[in-house]
Amino acid sequence: MVSAIMSKKKAFIPELPCENTVRGYFGDGWRYLPYIEINGALGIAIVKSILDGVKSDIREMSSHLGVDTERLRQPFTMLNLNGAFLHDKIPNDKKVLNANDKHAWGYYAGMASGHVGAVVPRNEQ
């Protein structure tokens, strides 16, 4: 059984508006990392987009990033379930994120990939 949130279908990911930020944390070959790590990279792209004024709506995010909604679904959902979009958490972290605090960016990447947070994806075998 394949869960919609855990679908591992490869999807084309174009050059992102925040490509330099993502590459700064995941390297130039981030698109070739394991699926779960790509989710972390997309999580960084989502958070950076919110800092740049994009609403935390998956359709708007998809349009802004140029990435298919289905490919964004898991990292977006993991951020949402772990509270990244609640109580202005991302805007409140703007100072440390703009200072390129690796721990802050890493925390959001970890939430999006499911490595950290109260809600993590289940393993599917």
**Dist. CA 96–CA 48, nearest whole Å:** 12
pLDDT for 12 equals 79
> 């609640």: which residue's tokens?
86
Could you count the other beta carbons within 10 Å of the beta carbon of residue 111?
Answer: 26
Q: Residues with Cβ < 8 Å from 40, sequence gap 6 or more?
A: 26, 75, 109, 110, 112, 113, 115
- Give tens-digit pLDDT for 15-73: 999 999 999 999 999 999 999 999 999 999 999 999 999 999 999 999 999 999 999 99
pTM of the full predicted structure? 0.87
